[in-house]
Chains A and B, each alone.
Chain A
Amino acid sequence: MPREDTTKHSSCPLLISGLLGTALGIAVLIGWYAHIESLVQGLHGPAASMQYNTALCFLLSGLGCLALCRRRVTLTTTLGLAICAIALATLTQYAFGINLYIDQLLLTDYLQAGTSHPGRMSPNAALAFLIFACVLLLEAHHGAKPYRAVLIASLSMIIVSLGLVAILGYAAGIETTLGWGRFTRMSTHTAAGFIILGLGGTAHVWARSPSVAYGLPSWSPATLFVALLAVGVLLWQAVLHHEENTIKRETKRAATSIQKGVASRIKSHCQALSRMAKRQAINATLSHEAWENDAQRYLADTPEYRAIEWIAPTYHVRWIVPLEGNEAAQGLDLSFETNRQAALVEAQEQRHIVITPPIDLVQGGKGLRIIAPIYSGDHFGGFFAAVFHCDQMLDEILNSYVDNPYYSVVIDDANSTVFKNEFHLKSRYTHWAQHAQIDLPNTVWRVRVWPNESMVAEIRTLFPHVVLVNVLLGSVLFTLTLHFMLVSSARADKLETANRRMALETAAHTQTEQRFQLVVESSPSGVVMADSEGKILLVNKETENQFGYTRDELVGQPVDMLVPTRFRDEHPAHRNAYMANPTTRAMGMGRELFGLRKDGTEFPVEIALNPIQTPQGTAVLTTVVDITERKRAEEQFQLVVESSPSGVVMADNQGKIILVNKETENLFGYTRDELIGQSVDMLVPTRFRNEHPAHRQGYMADPTPRPMGSGRDLYGLRKDGSEFLVEIALNPIQTPQGMAVLTTVVDITERKRSENELKSSAERLQASNREMEGFVYTVSHDLKSPLVTFAGYLSHLNKDVEAGRIDRLPQFVGYLNKAAQHMQSIINDLLEISRIGRVSNTSEAVDVNALVATIVDELKPQLEAAQAEVKVQADMPTIQTDRTRLSQVFQNLLTNALKYGRPADGRAGQITVGGVIEGGETRYFVADNGPGIDKKYHERIFGLFQRLQSNKDGTGVGLAIVSRIAEVNDGRAWVESEPGQGAKFWIAFPSQMGQQQTSTAAA
């Protein structure tokens, strides 16, 4: 599981426990500093308080949780290590009994409540902090290691247990749960703090652990076990300690009772003896009998007296009561023994009562004497002594104060044992011995009391062990129960999932069968299932419709009955072949298939075969589709295509022709059979053929309906090799065999021609507009020119006439004449040129030879004047044209040759006229042997009013007229000339206009 998710999930419990822990720590720290004892001691009062270091550790732990929430690994680690250090140091102090001076490092413990060492954290709290530090470090560093969740949860639960046991102890009044032994105890809020921290840690890992069942993670049994175990062990220990404490307390009480009892009894004896001594001192004459009576009385009151004696100042026992049993002591000199003597000496000298150490009585047994000196003033009258039998006396005392058999009691004075009861050797519980001290007038007795087996047995119960065993068993049981609950729940889930899946599968299976039935029955195709022998097993409704049989008539019959009789013989062989290799495929690839109806009619079908495994072996599921409609549609398609006024060519994606129509045959001159199966490239002119496959592939890459080769002129290639202009539209068409292209071809030769005509007529119109402009310009200039001459010379003439001057008259009149003639010829020429094209004469076959002969005849005077000779080609081609215009052409050309084609060097003018049919044109020429024309003037001379020589007659219209006539007849006029080589003027007419035959005029 990615860490981002886990932090997101687990931040809530960790955040809460972190905040609570921090708050607790801060509150207690404030309590310490501000002396608010209720904050420091918690609910339980002065019995225990949260130590300063504990509060500090809570603060650090809380901050650690918060840091962990924010994934501040370094900070968490630092805090964890700090807690660890404090806890470890504290535990070390406890374990080795040393002082590291950390307990009151920051604050002096001024309360010292419930603590063995001022300011020291309780050992269980230190352990809990140590564990929590481990939890923090683990969580911060060990990522998603698999053991981590269970480890952290278990450790956290141990912390909870530590806190919980303390709380339980408070609740149950068993204070031993608060701490261990005599060490510092844990306060209630410390315990609560641990529960919060521990639960926080547990919840933290719980939240991000995947749940097995009941929302519990897989590690929960283990954690529960650890927690219960910790609680059990802690409780067990606590109850055990509690019992020991009770024993100790009881023993102490016994010791105290013994001490008080012994002290008071001995004291009363001393007082009695001392009273006796006083009385003796006052009444020195007291008789032996009187004393004896007195003593007797004492003895009767206090049975523990062995004897009461009067000891003479000589230390001899004089009187003794009772005498019986004490005969040995009668007259005994007590100085025979040091203890006795020392006691007597002391009593005599100090004048107070003395108690001897235990002595071996002459009467037998251990005993002791209380000796009271008798002084009457300074007169020493001996001693009264009371002799006690120790055992007897102390037994009695003990019996009256304590349950004697419960305790072993030993009373010692300075040097020897005064008393020990009969049990002291048997009891091994000396480690619980309690001590007391009995102060006597001249000595001190020490009392040692420890419990006997019977006393321990009475207090010690099985309860702690019962607790331990119960908790152990309980935790095991709980754990196992939880474990098996989880396991069984998980198994139940699995089982349920499996069940559900099985139910679904079963349902699906049933549904599948139903669906199969439904699908087969409602299939729009006929479905026939037959076994390997070809016997029909199943048919559907559509099969009945298709073949006209009822279901009953078909099932059990051979499928061959549905096959037309003409194919029936071969059908079993086909069936067997299929059964040998049963795959899903169409029947009769490439052949047309037919079904036979009951009424004997046939219909075209398409059949698909599917092998199907049945319990009875392999069967064949046959799907039959009646394709009558489709066939008809195909025929209609054929008809539509066939009757299309455009050529239709369908080609596959390889460019192979699949289909053509009649118009395609017409357009390209091929028959259908010559085209089908060939590449479409064959219809493309050879010069484009190389690039055509690339164009095709380009189209197949992006097949959209569009015209082919937009912007380019497209040509089709006919079978005879001729080409024609086409327009082609491309349409992609999806066929069962893949993408094909439906191409529509239209012959646009006619259209192109009309377009070209339109274009050329527009061009002609433009040219004639330009000509008009030139005409107007020329008129404005060339007609103005003579006017200037008229005005000028008339004015001069006028002045000359006024002045009577006539010398310049002929010259000026000559200018005027010339200008007038020029003007007239301009106007004539203009009229003439405008007539060309506007006035059209009927076209006729013209004998050009005859025409030229006539003109040459007319020009005879000029020819003679210029001494020029004209040679005419004998068999010039005749032409179908306007005779007048053709005459004008020759007139102008001949006149031109006369005017400008005369050799400059004085040679005789030689003019040649001829004609030829060449390049689809009928051409005529007029050539001279004149000075020739520079190439740069070749075009200009055909312009209106253009002349090369200003000193020659003429308006410059002649060649313009020739050019115009050629133009009007769709012909052309040009000149071939080099300077000095003469000039050859040509006019050509398109052949269609002319008769392509030689002239007959010569004949």
Chain B
Amino acid sequence: MSSINAKPIHFLLVEDDESHANLIKLALEENNVSNTLDHVWDGAEAMDYLRRQGKHANAPRPHIILLDLKLPKVDGHEVLTQLKADDSLRMIPVVVLTTSGNEIDRAKAYYNHANSYLIKPIDFSKFQVMVKELELYWSVWNQPPIPDTDPT
């Protein structure tokens, strides 16, 4: 499969619901792509992770961020805003992964330069497919920016 060509990429999952996080991990594992994933529980921790603060001092720079919107402390929208305002972080693609189909959420996410907006399907098979294709898309087809390339 395409997994042969895929370079291993590193996901950062921001999700406050343990069961949902577990479901996503399970789905990703079924793809047999040798990707890595770190899970943080809320927006504040996500920013700590990205900025390598506190217990995340040695955290790697993720290739993709999977971001839930409904988060304790700092919610997903705020994470997006802070992230995209940060010159060192703004080039990391952010895929919003949420249960909310609310149009304001969607508009807000794109306004804040989210790269993709996915709604968690209640139908599990669809959920499975979505997560798989999400992984394939971002690790195989999508070409992420080369770190430290000056876009200007």
Contacts and interface: CB of A to CB of B under 8 A. Distances in A.
A794 B128 CA distance: 13
Contact of B19 (A777, A815, A937, A951): A815
Given A784-B122, A937-B73, A950-B41, A789 B19 contact: yes
A163 B22 CA distance: 145
Interface string B104-125: 0000000000000000111111
A785 B17 contact: yes
Interface in B44-103: 70-73, 98-102
A120 interface: no
Contact of B100 (A781, A789, A793, A950): A781
B125 to A, nearest CB: 7
Contacts of B138: none
B23 interface: yes
A948 interface: yes
A788 B19 CA distance: 9
B20 interface: yes
Contact of A950 (B23, B72, B102): B72
A780 interface: yes
Interface of A: prevailing SS? helix
Contacts of B102: 777, 780-781
A818 B41 CA distance: 17
Interface in B1-51: 16-20, 22-23, 26, 41-42
B76 to A, nearest CB: 11
Interface string A878-897: 00000000000000000000
Nearest to A947: B72
A903 B127 CA distance: 40
A298 B124 CA distance: 204
B124 A794 contact: yes
A785 B125 contact: no
Contacts of B16: 950
A782 B127 contact: no
B73 A819 contact: no
Nearest to B15: A950
A951 B41 contact: yes
B72 A792 contact: no
A948 B72 contact: yes
Contacts of A781: 70, 98-100, 102
A791 B71 CA distance: 21
A949 interface: yes
Contacts of B20: 785, 788-789, 792
| Residue picked from A785, A792, A795, most chain B C-beta under 10 Å | A792
A82 to B, nearest CB: 98
Contact of B127 (A791, A937, A949): A791
Interface in A781-834: 781-782, 784-785, 787-789, 791-796, 815, 818-819
A782 B18 CA distance: 14
A815 B125 contact: no
B19 A949 contact: no
A48 to B, nearest CB: 120
Given A780-B100, A791-B122, A815 B70 contact: no
B72 A788 contact: no
Nearest to A937: B73
A796 B22 CA distance: 11
Contacts of A793: 19, 23
A990 B41 CA distance: 40
B124 A791 contact: yes
B120 A788 contact: yes
Interface residues of B, number: 27
B75 to A, nearest CB: 9
Nearest to B23: A792
A795 B99 contact: no
A785 B99 contact: yes
Contacts of A946: 72
A781 B124 CA distance: 17
Contacts of B71: 950
Contacts of A815: 18-19, 22
Contact of B124 (A792, A949, A951): A792
A946 B22 CA distance: 22
Interface in A758-796: 777, 780-782, 784-785, 787-789, 791-796
A948 B26 contact: no
A947 B43 CA distance: 12
A948 B45 CA distance: 12
B137 to A, nearest CB: 21
B121 to A, nearest CB: 8
B101 A792 contact: no
Interface in A38-68: none
B99 A784 contact: yes
A640 to B, nearest CB: 62
Contacts of B19: 789, 792-793, 815, 818-819
Nearest to A792: B23
A500 B16 CA distance: 121
Given A789-B23, A815-B22, A795 B124 contact: yes
A792 B121 CA distance: 10
Nearest to A808: B26
A947 B71 CA distance: 8
Contacts of B124: 791-792, 794-796
B19 to A, nearest CB: 4
A795 B125 contact: yes
A818 B23 CA distance: 15
B100 A788 contact: no
B42 A791 contact: no
A399 to B, nearest CB: 160
Contacts of A794: 124
Interface centre among B26, B72, B127 (most CB of A within 10 A): B72
Nearest to B127: A792
A958 to B, nearest CB: 14
Nearest to B101: A780
B98 to A, nearest CB: 8
B55 to A, nearest CB: 14
A406 B12 CA distance: 172
A950 B99 contact: no
Contacts of B121: 788
Contacts of A951: 41
B26 A796 contact: yes
Nearest to A791: B124
Interface string A929-952: 000000001000000011111110
Contacts of A780: 99-102
A331 to B, nearest CB: 183
A945 B127 CA distance: 25
A207 B99 CA distance: 114
A780 B124 CA distance: 18
Contact of B122 (A782, A787, A948): A787
Contacts of A796: 23, 26, 124
Contacts of A784: 99-100, 120, 122
A791 B127 CA distance: 9
Nearest to B27: A792
Nearest to A781: B100
Taking each of A777, A788, A815, which has the highest tally of chain B beta carbons within 10 Å of its own beta carbon?
A: A788
A789 B41 contact: no
A784 B123 CA distance: 11
18 contacts: A777-B100, A780-B99, A780-B101, A784-B99, A784-B120, A785-B20, A788-B121, A791-B123, A791-B124, A792-B23, A792-B26, A792-B127, A795-B124, A796-B26, A815-B19, A946-B72, A947-B72, A950-B17
Interface of A: 777, 780-782, 784-785, 787-789, 791-796, 815, 818-819, 937, 945-951
Given A787-B122, A793-B19, 12 more contacts: A780-B102, A781-B100, A781-B102, A784-B122, A788-B122, A792-B19, A794-B124, A796-B23, A815-B19, A947-B72, A949-B73, A950-B17
Interface of B: 16-20, 22-23, 26, 41-42, 70-73, 98-102, 120-125, 127-128
Instruction: Please provide the 9 A-B residue pairs with the shortest distance between their CB atoms, ordered closest to farther.
Output: A950-B16, A795-B124, A815-B19, A792-B23, A784-B99, A789-B19, A791-B124, A781-B100, A950-B72
